[in-house]
Structure 1
Amino acid sequence: MLTAVLTAEDSLRGSDFSGEPRAGFCLMGACQDCWVKLGDGRRVRACSTLLEANVGVTREPGRSL
């Protein structure tokens, strides 16, 4: 999912400290820099979640993709 999102957007979220754009760091789920919320309410890591057809994805906090 992370690869697909970053082909359309420049980042997933802003840094908690500086607001600078963040786009995933470790690419294996350890850094927790790629959290997104799915349309069904689940909060998942974009770097380790496969895309599913017709599932909405929202960047945190609340920025739709």
Structure 2
Amino acid sequence: MAPSTPRRIETGRLVTFTFEGQPVEGQVGESVAAALTAAGIRNLRDSVVSGAPRGIYCMMGACFDCLVQIDGVPNRQACMTEVREGLEVRRQVGAAEVTL
């Protein structure tokens, strides 16, 4: 497996995406989780077990606490998805259906 190319955050190059229908700005190269955190958004989904709010925890794709729906696709890790212009992000509510 080839090593991945590290992301470079391009300071000053902004894109706009939405979270729950509200506009959020992020810097090119930044993760959705980082942009949401910078915008003061911490609750990304609810626990399927307890209903408690879940948010960003590890920021490296290991914990799955930051699962969101991106462009209609559930179970996307906000910390592993790079922001881009026009992205539509929504909280993930409950368990997402698994399709094979």
Which residue of 1 is the match for residue 23 of structure 2?
none
Structure 1 stretches of 4+ with a deviation exceeding 4 A read none
Deviation at 1:26, TM superposition (A): 1.4
Three-state SS of the structure 2 residue aligned to 1:5 is: helix
Three-state SS of the structure 1 residue aligned to 2:76 is: strand
| 1:1-65 equivalences in 2 (<5 Å) | 1-6=32-37, 7-39=39-71, 41=73, 43-61=75-93
Deviation at 1:13, TM superposition (A): 0.8
Instruction: Give the whole-Å Cα distance in 1 for the aligned partners of 2:50 and 2:75.
Output: 23
Which has the greater radius of gyration?
A: 2
Which blocks of at least 5 consecutive residues in structure 2 are unaligned?
1-31, 95-100
Residue pair 1:40, 1:55 contacting (<8 A) in 2 also: no
Letter in 1 for 2:50: S
Deviation at 1:35, TM superposition (A): 1.3
Cα root mean square deviation, aligned: 2.1
Flag the structure with higher helix content: 1
Q: Which TM-score applies when normalising by structure 1?
A: 0.73
Q: How many residue pairs were aligned?
A: 62
Q: Which TM-score applies when normalising by structure 2?
A: 0.52
Letter in 2 for 1:4: A
Which blocks of at least 5 consecutive residues in structure 1 are unaligned?
none
Three-state SS of the structure 2 residue aligned to 1:2 is: helix
Three-state SS of the structure 2 residue aligned to 1:31 is: coil
Query: Do the aligned partners of residues 18 and 48 (structure 1) sit closer, same or farther apart at CA in structure 2, a change above 3 Å counting?
Result: same
